[in-house]
């Protein structure tokens, strides 16, 4: 009895130590990994029957966003060593949840959603870059404080195969841990858009956009210009302007990476 009790204690201690060492090693490895961005996910807004904003000359947001996204993908692949994943590469419907899930499943290091704006006012003009507004409940704010210091937990602790409420809650607030980095990324991209497009600079803004909420990495939503503004619609439809938008986002991205490395 006495021997077996001691043995049991010894075995437990050994197992516990081994487990802790394993956990520490994994956490360390993941922390190291998280610093190095390997994949950039680009999200061409809308698609399929979901057209997004419409211009007076018939241009649709979904077509312009895909076109700019493909140009941005080419630029990043040519000049940076990242894998680029598109949430859609043709004119199809993809739900917002599937878009953020795609980003998380590909272990996205950065997420950029491309849009063209629409307003009721015909005169509304310019480019702007959004990151997520939190509008969090007290409970979420408490979790946020924890996650800000332990952002790797999101990726290590959520097993995508489980489909319970906890996982839903955690994914639903995945972006909260990255809001500071997202705001910095938005800032750099907006500076470049401002200098390259010659449009009114509407600055960086926060909004409760669905697409950004579930993404577990720094994430922004770029509004290249207003489709509802006839002048800007014609610009958005042109190849040259789309190239400039892609180039501006690419430069902003490069500035952000320089700062974080």
Partner 1 sequence: MAANKGKGVLSRPALVLGGLAFVLLVLVVIFFTGGVGEKVKRFVDANVPKSPETSGASAAAVKTVTLFFISDDDDALHKETREIAAGPTAADEAERALAELVRGSEKGFLSPLPPQTKVRQVFVAKDGLATVDFSRDIADKFAYGSSSELAAVYAVVDTLVYNFEAIKKVVILVEGSERDTLGGHVDLSRAFSPDYSLVAK
Residues that bind partner 1 (CB under 8 A): 45-46, 50-54, 61, 95-97, 115-124, 130, 135, 172, 202, 207-211, 213, 221, 223, 226-228
Residue closer to partner 1 (CB basis): 26 or 98: 98
Nearest approach, Cβ of residue 229 and partner 1 (Å): 10
Nearest approach, Cβ of residue 209 and partner 1 (Å): 5
Nearest approach, Cβ of residue 195 and partner 1 (Å): 22
For residues 192 and 255, the answer to whether their CB atoms sit within 8 Å is yes
Nearest approach, Cβ of residue 95 and partner 1 (Å): 7
Token pair 């990324």 in the structure block, residue:
185
Residue closer to partner 1 (CB basis): 37 or 215: 215
CB atoms within 10 A of CB 86: 18
Residue closer to partner 1 (CB basis): 123 or 258: 123
Token pair 């839903």 in the structure block, residue:
168
Token pair 């958005």 in the structure block, residue:
236
For residues 233 and 124, the answer to whether their CB atoms sit within 8 Å is no
Q: At what angle do helices 61-79 and 239-260 cross, to 10 degrees?
A: 50
Which among 199, 203, 222 has a CA at the least distance from the CA of 125? 199
Nearest approach, Cβ of residue 202 and partner 1 (Å): 8
Instruction: Give the integer Cα–Cα distance in Å for 95 and 84.
Output: 20
Q: How far is CA 81 from CA 131, 135, 159, 195, in A?
A: 25, 36, 28, 26
Nearest approach, Cβ of residue 127 and partner 1 (Å): 12
Residue closer to partner 1 (CB basis): 115 or 184: 115
Instruction: Give the integer Cα–Cα distance in Å for 17 and 197.
Output: 58
Residue closer to partner 1 (CB basis): 188 or 209: 209
Residue closer to partner 1 (CB basis): 77 or 231: 231
């Amino acid at each position: 009895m006495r021997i077996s009790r001691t043995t049991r204690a010894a075995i437990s201690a050994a197992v516990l130590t081994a487990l802790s060492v394993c956990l520490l090693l994994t956490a360390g490895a993941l922390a190291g990994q998280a610093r190095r961005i390997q994949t950039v996910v680009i999200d061409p807004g809308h698609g399929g029957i979901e057209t997004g904003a419409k211009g007076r000359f018939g241009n649709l947001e979904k077509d312009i966003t895909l076109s700019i996204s493909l140009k941005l993908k080419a630029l990043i692949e040519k000049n940076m060593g990242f894998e680029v994943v598109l949430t859609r590469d043709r004119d199809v419907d993809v739900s917002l949840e599937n878009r953020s899930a795609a980003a998380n499943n590909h272990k996205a290091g950065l997420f950029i959603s491309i849009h063209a704006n629409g307003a009721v006012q015909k005169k509304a003009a310019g480019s702007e870059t959004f990151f997520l507004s939190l509008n969090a409940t007290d409970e979420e704010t408490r979790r946020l404080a924890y996650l800000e210091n332990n952002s790797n937990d999101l990726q290590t602790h959520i097993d995508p195969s489980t489909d319970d409420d906890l996982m839903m809650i955690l994914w639903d607030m995945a972006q909260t841990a990255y809001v500071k980095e997202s705001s910095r990324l938005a800032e750099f991209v907006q500076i470049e858009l401002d200098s390259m497009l010659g449009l009114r600079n509407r600055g960086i803004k926060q909004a409760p956009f669905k697409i950004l909420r579930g993404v577990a990495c720094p994430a922004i939503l770029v509004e290249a210009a207003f489709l509802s503004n006839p002048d800007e619609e014609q610009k958005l439809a042109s190849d040259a302007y789309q190239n400039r938008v892609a180039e501006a986002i690419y430069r902003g991205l490069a500035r952000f990476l320089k700062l974080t490395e």
